Structures are given as C-alpha cells and as structure tokens.
C-alpha cells in the first residue's frame, strides 16, 4: 500500500514541473534570443571519435561557449525520439506530452492557412514510386520549390473530394506540402502512409480507431487519385501522408510567460509551431543570411526571438557527415551578426539530434549553450563532450524556458 508521503511525492511533481514558470513570471526584463540549429546533436565518427559539432571548425561558437553555461537537454523523455513539433514545443516551454499536435497542423499554420475547429491537416511528402508502386525516394530528390509548386497545383486542381468536403492544398518547401480537409467528421487517428523506408509500397491510411473509418475512406480515395494524376511525372510520382492533425489552440507565450515572440525561419513548418504558441512571423527568408538580416530588422520590437536554421538536420538525414559538419560551420559564420544584437540571453541548441550515421532523428540528448551575464563558463569550446560536464547538467528541454526567463530577470523568487 502506498503511504501518504509517497503519494504526496508522486502526484504533484509532474503538474508542478509543467506549470512552474507561469505563476512566477514578472513583466519586464531582458530580451531572449533562441537560435535553433535543427538536428544539432550527433554521434561520434567511427574514425575520429568526434561528433559533427565537435568536428566542425566553430571559432565563434567556441568563443561564445567560453563565456557561457553549457549542458545537455533531453528533448522529451529518455529514449523517446521526438518529431520536430514536440522538439520545438519543448524548447518553447511546453510539455510535449501534455501539448501534443500533429505535423499537419504545424504545416498548415506555417503556410499561413487559417485552420478552423474540425479541420484535418495532413503533411504530405512528394515522393518517387516505381512502376510497381514501391517507394524509391521518400523525398523525390528534394525537388526545387518551382517543381513542388507546380505539382501541388496539379493535385489541387485534379483531386475530387466527396460531396460536402472542401479540399485545400499548399506547397511548403521542396518536397513538403500540406493538405487540409474541411466539412466532414474527420479524425486524426489514422496511420501514416510513409513507410519510412524505400523498396516497399506506401502504407494504407488505416483508421486506428473505429471513429476514424470515414476519414480512412476519404484519404484512400484522394491518395489513389494523386497517384493517377502524377503517373506521368518524371520524379514526383506519388505522395506520402503523415502527421494527421485536428486543430486545437494552445495557450500563448504571452499568456504563459508575458513574452511577445517573433519567429524567423525559412521553412513553413517551423513558422507554424511558433504561430501555434502565439509568435508572429517576421517573413519568409530564402536563405539563412536573409533570416539573420530579417532578425536584425525586427530585433527590439519583441521580447522573445526564435531563429531557425534547418541545414544541419537536412544533411544529417542525408547521412552525410561532412555536409552536416559544413552546415554547422556555415551557421557559426553567421554568429557574429547575431551576437551583435546583444540580447540579454542568447541560447544556441537543437530541437533534437540527427546523427548522420543514423540518417534520422534520434533520442540522444542535445548540447545547449546559454549565454548571459549570469553564466558559469566551464569550457572553451562547444560540443557534446564538454557540454555533458557543463554547469547546466542534463535536463528536460521543457525547462529551457524557465532558465531563459531566470537569466533574463523575468522570474520572481519561489516561496517565502
């Protein structure tokens, strides 16, 4: 039998941790800049024993690390591999278990679509299928935005949903698109059709609960039509559906943390997850250099600034160790322009690990650098090995926001 003391220990802890910063936040304080190098964490190269971050020449990150607190973050829970949505929600201070959202909703919000209650949003991958219907490339060779927009336009004009259902489709970036269905009793509990491997056919959009049966029927019909429409295309010959999501709102950064936030990201999905928590979008930069220039224009108008670089994750998913190293080095070259803004708190980290050796997201913890006047420096470089011994220790990523608020002078003392 559980004792009263054991119950008192077990029950409140999660609730307290989830809501802890909200009641302690004070109005005013310093600015916060969060630089996310997507998929930053890696694994040691078998020949050198160094990760991609440790292999990269990063003089600016190393210099900043020598004046900063370092640590490692667990994106969700030990052993749990996060998607980009949960990974970013954690960074923004939201418990990713309590605040779950499908990738489709983030994609729709990211392209500026105004979701309504009851809408079903679906993330699509433009893919290559062979004559037997097997997936040969899950990303169709990462087509140009021009090709992606053309193909999505073809699909949008040709697909015929059942009566009473409205269909919207938008291109995101390269091989990414989003489908929104409105006007039916749609459910999100549907199996992704992306098999996550090549040489096999797409999975069927199988209903995971009986109530999702009508949704399965509509999706099966539309995905079959898409295959017919794309049959004569050279590279994009099919679509893979994933991240089914019914829309519901979240409490905003301003409601929870009294922060006016802005997002600067090239890819719509990341603008979408920022919009989900009430951030404004600064625009649609075409390159990382343009993203930094855009940040420079809006800096000071907001309390919280989210800057996102995608390349380390993309190169990790390509299984290209050296290309991921170069992507980190390219981000490092932009750091002086970011530091010149002089935010009171500057954080550099990733939303998850994408080791090139695995070619996909992983459960491994992620290095984090937190710079403020109140830091406790412990090393002269930035990498997984030194971060493990840093002042911040290893913590769940959902607590990064309370650390940022504290360093920015935005949290009052807890208790008497």
What is the C-alpha separation between 406 and 387, in angstroms, rounded?
A: 20
The pLDDT score that the predictor gives to residue 62 is 98
The pLDDT score that the predictor gives to residue 10 is 29
What is the C-alpha separation between 65 and 371, in angstroms, rounded?
A: 8
239 phi, psi to nearest 5 deg: -130, 150
**What are the Cα distances from residue 112, in Å, to 66, 161, 252, 259, 404?**
40, 22, 17, 22, 28
In this structure, what token pair is assigned to residue 23? 């009641």
What is the C-alpha separation between 58 and 329, in angstroms, rounded?
A: 6
Q: What is the arithmetic mean of pLDDT over 376-383?
A: 96
In this structure, what token pair is assigned to residue 296? 């420079």
Q: pLDDT tens digits for 70-81? A: 999 999 999 999
What is the percentage of the chain residues whose pLDDT exceeds 70? 95
Judged by average pLDDT, the poorest of 52-61, 102-111, 329-338 is 102-111
Cα(first)–Cα(last) distance of the chain, in Å?
34
Q: What is the arithmetic mean of pLDDT over 229-246?
A: 90
What's the maximum distance between 2 C-alpha atoms anywhere in the chain?
Answer: 71
Please provide the average confidence, as pLDDT, over all residues in the chain.
91
Of residues 112 and 364, more confidently modeled: 364
Query: Predicted confidence band at 20 (pLDDT cuts at 50, 70, 90)?
Result: low
Q: What is the arithmetic mean of pLDDT over 380-407?
A: 96
Of residues 106 and 91, more confidently modeled: 91
Judged by average pLDDT, the poorest of 103-112, 206-215, 308-317, 399-408 is 103-112
353: Cβ contacts below 8 Å, ≥ 6 apart: 39, 40, 41, 42, 43, 361, 362, 363, 364, 365, 366
Query: Predicted confidence band at 102 (pLDDT cuts at 50, 70, 90)?
Result: confident
Whole-model pTM? 0.77
In this structure, what token pair is assigned to residue 26? 């004070």
In this structure, what token pair is assigned to residue 163? 């009566």
The pLDDT score that the predictor gives to residue 19 is 56
Q: What is the arithmetic mean of pLDDT over 316-341?
A: 98
Query: Predicted confidence band at 248 (pLDDT cuts at 50, 70, 90)?
Result: confident
Domains of the chain, each with CATH number or no CATH = 25-100+251-407 (3.40.720.10), 107-246 (3.30.70)
The pLDDT score that the predictor gives to residue 189 is 93
400 phi, psi to nearest 5 deg: -60, -40
What is the C-alpha separation between 109 and 118, in angstroms, rounded?
A: 15
Q: pLDDT tens digits for 265-310? A: 998 889 988 988 999 999 999 999 999 999 999 999 999 999 999 9
């Amino acid at each position: 039998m559980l004792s009263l003391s054991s119950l008192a220990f077990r029950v409140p802890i999660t609730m307290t941790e989830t809501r802890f910063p909200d009641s302690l936040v004070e109005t005013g304080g310093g600015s916060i800049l969060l630089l996310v190098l997507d998929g930053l964490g890696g694994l040691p190269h078998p020949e050198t024993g160094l990760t991609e971050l440790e292999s990269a020449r990063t003089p600016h990150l190393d210099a900043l690390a020598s004046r900063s607190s370092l640590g490692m973050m667990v994106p969700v829970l030990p052993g749990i591999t996060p998607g980009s949505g949960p990974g970013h929600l954690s960074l923004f201070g939201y418990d990713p278990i309590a605040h779950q959202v499908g990738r489709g909703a983030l994609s729709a919000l990211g392209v500026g679509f105004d979701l309504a209650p009851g809408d079903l949003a679906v993330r699509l991958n433009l893919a290559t299928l062979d004559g037997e219907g097997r997936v040969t490339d899950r990303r169709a060779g990462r087509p140009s935005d021009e090709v992606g927009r053309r193909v999505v336009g073809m699909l949008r004009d040709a697909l015929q949903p059942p009566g009473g259902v409205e269909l919207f489709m938008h291109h995101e970036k390269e091989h990414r698109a989003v489908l929104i269905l409105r006007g039916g009793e749609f459910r999100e509990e549907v199996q992704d059709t992306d098999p996550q491997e090549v040489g096999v056919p797409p999975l069927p959009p199988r209903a995971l609960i009986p109530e999702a049966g009508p949704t399965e029927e509509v999706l099966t019909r539309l995905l079959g039509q898409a295959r017919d429409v794309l049959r004569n295309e050279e590279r994009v010959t099919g679509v893979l559906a994933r991240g089914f999501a019914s829309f519901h709102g979240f409490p905003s950064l301003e409601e929870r943390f009294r922060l006016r936030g802005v997002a600067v990201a090239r890819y719509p999905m990341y603008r979408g997850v920022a919009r989900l928590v009430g951030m404004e979008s600064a625009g649609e930069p075409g390159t990382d250099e343009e993203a930094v220039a855009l940040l420079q224009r809006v800096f000071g108008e907001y309390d919280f600034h989210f800057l996102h670089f995608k390349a380390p994750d993309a190169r990790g998913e390509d299984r290209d160790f050296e290309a991921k190293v170069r992507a980190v080095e390219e981000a490092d070259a932009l750091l002086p322009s970011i530091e010149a803004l002089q935010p009171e708190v500057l954080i550099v980290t990733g939303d998850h690990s994408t080791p090139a050796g695995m070619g996909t997201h992983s459960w491994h913890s992620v290095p984090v650098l937190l710079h403020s006047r109140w830091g406790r420096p412990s090393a002269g470089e930035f990498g997984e090995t030194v971060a493990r011994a840093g002042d911040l220790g290893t913590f769940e990523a959902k607590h990064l926001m309370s650390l940022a608020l504290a360093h920015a002078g935005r949290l009052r003392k807890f208790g008497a």
